[in-house]
Amino acid sequence: MQVGVFDHLDNATLPIAQFLDERLALIEAYDRAGFYAYHLAEHHGTQLGMAPSPNVFLASVAQCTKKIRLGPMVYALPLYHPLRLAQEICMLDQLSHGRLIVGFGRGSSPAELRFYGIDPAEAEAIFKERLPLVLEALQTGVYREPGRAAPLDEIELKVEVLQKPMPPVWYGVHSPDSATRAAQRRWQTISLDAAEEARDCSQAYRAALPSGEGADLLLGLGRFIVVAETDAKAQAIARRAYPFWHKAFTHLARKLGSTARHPRPDTWDQLHGQGKGIAGSPATVAQFLSEQLRVSECNYLVGQFAFGDQSSAELQTSLELFRTQVWPQL
């Protein structure tokens, strides 16, 4: 049973430098605990994303960890020139000694696309145009862009990926169709949806694979997780911390009068009621997560442990209880 981490890198109250230092220390603890991967979201113009440049932050992560895989979940591809992104992916794969995993998306926030002068209506077309350019460059070490005249039609990257032919690709799934597309490309996935919806994706994914293949591929299920000595203590932490995260999550929608995509409920209790988060003692958390994994038919748990205004001490306690008392039961 592999377990990973998903992080919005949201900051509630701390000075930014202190926040980043404490988060790097927490990721070092994830690494020592044996987590499979650290997945980092990309956001702009909101407290939800203290890593508006995921690659800068992940370069620091690469230097303070030894085994944990690391990567964006996901790059908002319309915001990147494909040549520059391919070059930075190659650098990170080398800096991490082959621990990079990469995810690509269209950008979940229309407002954030507009910040960069991108029309959200064009995001799908931009994604489809740029993704093949990035993937080909990573696989061949040469960037080719249709329509360019020689000698700019073929640009050698020079710094190539360490993992051949390229680092593993991850994809966020919200429907059986998206799961099928991922399976056809052997991309690994993460779902943040309810267990029954995630199960539909898991079944579609496995059905799209050739018979007997795919046992090594990970299908992730993302859940908010808080562990404390008692149910009451964990729930008090979660109920206090979650509103800070939710305020950041909805900041741009409220500011601009729009609607957030993939909305989340206002309170922790509502989130838990949807099966998307658990706060409790080790026994309570283990029982909940085991059932979620059984129903969803996912084989990779992705925990969002750090969110809101949780203190460093609270996060370290949650991690230690999860590592020693919850994980063994999964």
Separation of alpha carbons 8 and 279, rounded Å: 18
CATH class of 1-14+21-36+173-330: alpha beta
Residue 259 has pLDDT above 80, yes or no: no
- Percent helix, percent strand, percent coil in the chain, to nearest 5: 50, 15, 35
Separation of alpha carbons 72 and 234, rounded Å: 29
Count of CB atoms within 10 A of residue 27's CB? Answer: 24
Contact 40, 71 (CB under 8 A): yes
Rounded to two decimals, the pTM is 0.96
At 201, which amino acid appears? C
- Per-residue buried b or exposed e for 114-134, using 16+ beta carbons within 10 Å of the residue's own CB: eeeebeeeebeebbeebbebb
pLDDT at 238 (0 to 100)? 98
Tell me the per-residue pLDDT of 188-200, one tens digit each, with 9 for 90 and over. 999 999 999 999 9
Residue 228 has pLDDT above 90, yes or no: yes
Burial of 22 (0-12, 13-18, 19+ CB in 10 A): middle
pLDDT at 291 (0 to 100)? 98
Average pLDDT, the chain: 96
What confidence tier does 101 reach under pLDDT thresholds 50, 70, 90? very high
Separation of alpha carbons 28 and 64, rounded Å: 6
| Domains in the chain: boundaries | 1-14+21-36+173-330
